[in-house]
Each structure stands twice: as C-alpha cells, then as structure tokens.
C-alpha cells in the first residue's frame, strides 16, 4: 500500500469499535464483513442497494431471539466515505489505468462479501464502493486469488450518502 492510503481502523484497537446496535436474529457475522442496518438492526450487507455502516470486528452468530432476549451488540468499526478498505473481487480487473475511479456493488454472503465486478460498473443506486487501487500489494497475476482481484476501495454508499 502507498502512504496515501489507509485500511479501516485497526481491528485490534477496541476503542474504535461501536457497540450500539443489536444484531439481527440468527445473523452470522464473520470478521471483516461489511454491515448495514435493517429495521434498526445490524446485518451483513446482502443487496447492492444496502448502505454500509461499518465492518464487523468479530466472528459470531446471533441467537434466534437476539432482538428480544440475548440482545447482543456486535462490535463493528464504523465507516464513512473516506474509509479505505482492502477487498477481493469476483473477477479479474484490468488495472489502475482502467479501473481506478469506477464504482461497483457488493455481492456474496458472510465471510465472502466481494466487489461485484461481473455485473459491471454501476452508476445507479447500486454503487457501494469506488475502486481506489487495483493490486495494491503488487501480487500480479490473473485468476482466483490473484492481485488483479485484490483492490482498495472507498465505501461510497454510506449513511452520509444515502441516495
């Protein structure tokens, strides 16, 4: 990574976590999952129109009665439009000259939320992330797990930009 970029706040620094929203009943959180709010409850991003409020800090599963009985509040690092995050994509990108500055939605489920490159660049309400840099660790190569599937993104669809 270059010195002008940053990854979301250190996940080991507990003072950066928020503990202010109950987890949705039976929701499975995996450390590093982008999360959103649904009916006032924390859940993993599931749709390309979900606003991203943070990145979950701990792997845990909510009980089926979490909202009324257990009332667990998962730890998450809040994000805004200035937050940069390292993510994987579901297909190879071309490189920084072509892909930097483009917008995509997210796809997948807990533990496997990816930048949805296969659906193409988006200019609609489905834009959740903006590509900042392709292959930031200069791994190179092509195919699954290659550097061209690793990107730095800025979260675009956040509660501060909810269109």
- Residue 12 pLDDT: 55
What is the average pLDDT across 60-69?
97
Domain boundary among 59, 78, 97: 78
Q: Does residue 2 sit within a domain?
A: no
Q: Tokens standing for 79?
A: 């994000």
- Residue 9 pLDDT: 43
Of 49, 43, 74, 77, nearest in space to 60 by CA: 74
Residue 76 CA: distances (Å) to CA of 13, 28, 68, 130, 140: 11, 14, 20, 21, 31
- What b-and-e string marks burial along 15-26, b requiring 16 or more CB atoms within 10 Å of the CB? eebeeebbbbbe
Q: Does residue 8 sit within a domain?
A: no
Average pLDDT, the chain: 86
DSSP 65-98: TIIIII-----EEE--TT-EEEEEBSS----HHH
- Residue 124 pLDDT: 85
Domain boundary among 78, 96, 123: 78
88 and 52 fall within a common domain: no
92 and 156 fall within a common domain: yes
Region of poorest pLDDT, from 6-10, 120-124, 125-129: 6-10
Computed from CA positions of residues 13, 3, 8, 114, in that sequence, does the dihedral angle turn out positive or negative?
Answer: negative
Domain limits for position 36: 14-78
71 and 90 fall within a common domain: no
Residue 10 has pLDDT above 50, yes or no: no
Can you tell me the distance from the alpha carbon of 43 to that of 26, in angstroms, rounded to the nearest whole number?
A: 10
69 and 98 fall within a common domain: no
């Amino acid at each position: 990574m270059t010195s002008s970029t940053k990854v979301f706040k250190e996940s080991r620094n507990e003072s950066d976590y928020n503990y202010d929203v109950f987890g949705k009943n039976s929701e499975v959180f995996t450390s590093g999952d982008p999360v959103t709010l649904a009916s006032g409850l924390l859940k993993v991003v599931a749709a390309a129109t979900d606003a991203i409020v943070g990145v979950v800090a701990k792997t845990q599963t909510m009980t089926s009665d979490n909202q009324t009985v257990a009332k667990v509040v998962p730890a998450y690092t809040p994000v805004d439009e200035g937050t940069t995050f390292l993510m994987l994509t579901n297909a190879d990108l071309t490189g920084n000259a072509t892909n930097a500055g483009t917008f995509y939605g997210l796809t997948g489920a807990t533990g496997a939320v990816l930048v949805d490159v296969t659906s193409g660049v988006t200019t609609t309400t489905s834009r959740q992330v903006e590509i900042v840099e392709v292959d930031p660790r200069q791994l190179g190569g092509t195919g699954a797990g290659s550097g061209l599937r690793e990107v730095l993104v800025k979260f675009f669809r956040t509660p501060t930009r909810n269109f």
